[in-house]
Amino acid sequence: MLTVHPIELITLDLDETLWPCLAPIQRAEEALHDWLGQRAPRLTQALSQDDLRAHRRDLMARQPDISHDVTAIRLTSLQLLLDEFGHDPALATEGMALFLAHRNQVEPYPDVIPVLRVLAANYRLVSVTNGNADPERTPLRGLFHRSLTAAGVGAARPDPALFQAALDWAGLAPHQALHIGDHPVYDVQAARDHGLHVLWLNREGQSWPQELEPPPAEILDLHGLLDWLSDATDGHEGARHTPEHERRCRDFHANSHEAARHPPENEKFYCDFHAHGRRVTRSAAGADGVHPDGGMRASGPGDSGEGQGSCQVPTPSMSSPTLMEARGDRHGR
């Protein structure tokens, strides 16, 4: 008889967790600025992109009621500036449509699509973001059962509204959900404070902030998530390989786009995962803190330093709307 796994819902951060975000946002801003140069030349002759960012930053301070909604901030700022320089404010809507089209031209990390296909067959998957990326307009279309934004729920993380909205949709309690993200505060600490299980996705090998409690486990990519889940089944014996189990094993092999990476290990993990039942425990690590498969490692008190896992936008202010949007799922308000 299969063990019932307590995790039924997995929420995932978007920017810097599933794809790099700086380049798409920079391209989107450049495309919008070029378009404005043709449609609103007086505005672009007077204001640089840095000036536009400063205006959005000031607007966020003046209108905190919409500061969690990066699209509303961009749209309102553009409307005000178009009007100020004698252009039709209605152009802002067309401009934002252009911006969002470019903003959603992202390239997922190589591990993302094959792993999400596996997870989507067994869990309810929800994307959560403080930014304005839409997975349905990206190569991840159809892989999430639901996608939530700070704009949609009325608050940006670390406020728990995004997590609670996902739980409400799924009809689950926090202990039945697992969150994966790259930011120590806006992902790990925020999810943990709301009672969710959490894994820190640390693609760049950053140090964990010394002032924060270390995460339960650290994974280096989404393959590490599959490994972490499958490791939780160690010690279960007498598993039966049912027809459903065999089908899921075949599906995993068919869906993986990285068969050359470590197919025997991943297929074994996945098949064992379903044969033995699904029970989440803390990940095991070697004596050096590195998991034998290289995909994850346990975090400990020795991990210290400053978390830097976010897009670095070349702007003087680290709190600018562009940087916050580039960090979409972290500071991205």
pLDDT, tens only, 34-47: 999 999 999 999 99
Residues 177, 11 contacting (CB under 8 angstroms) = yes
**Residue of 138 and 7 predicted with greater confidence:** 138
Examine domains 9-19+108-297 and 22-105 and report if their fold is the same. Answer: no
Tokens of 12: 């995932």
Take residue 55 and report the two structure tokens written for it: 């205006």
Q: What pLDDT, on the 0 to 100 scale, is given for residue 61?
A: 96
Cα 86 to Cα 135: distance, rounded to the nearest angstrom: 36
**pLDDT average, residue stretch 155-173:** 98
DSSP one-letter code for 206: P
* 8 A C-beta contact, residue 177 and residue 167: yes
What are the tokens at 263? 């197919």
d(CA 220, CA 228): 11
Q: 185 pLDDT band (50/70/90 cuts)?
A: very high
Q: Would the pLDDT of 4 be above 70? A: no
Task: Kindly report the pTM of this predicted structure.
Answer: 0.74
Cβ atoms of residues 277 and 3 within 8 Å: yes
pLDDT in tens, 106-137: 999 999 999 999 999 989 999 999 999 999 99
Q: What is the rounded average pLDDT for all residues in the chain?
A: 77
Cα–Cα distance, 147 to 275 (Å, whole number): 30
**What type of residue is 34?**
D
Q: Tens digit of pLDDT for each residue in 141-151?
A: 999 999 999 99
The domain defined by 22-105 folds into Four Helix Bundle (Hemerythrin (Met), subunit A) (1.20.120)
- pLDDT for the residue 120: 96
| Burial (0-12, 13-18, 19+ Cβ within 10 Å), 325 | buried
Q: Which of 1-5, 14-18, 41-45, 146-150 has the lowest mean pLDDT?
A: 1-5
Can you read off the two tokens belonging to residue 126? 């929800």
Residue 49 contacts residue 36 (beta carbons within 8 Å): no
The percentage of the chain sitting over the pLDDT mark of 90, rounded to a whole number, equals 65
Q: Give the length of the chain.
A: 333
Domain spans in the chain, listed from the N-terminal domain onward: 9-19+108-297, 22-105
Residues ≥6 apart with Cβ < 8 Å to 47: 55, 81
- Fold for the domain defined by 9-19+108-297: Rossmann fold (3.40.50)
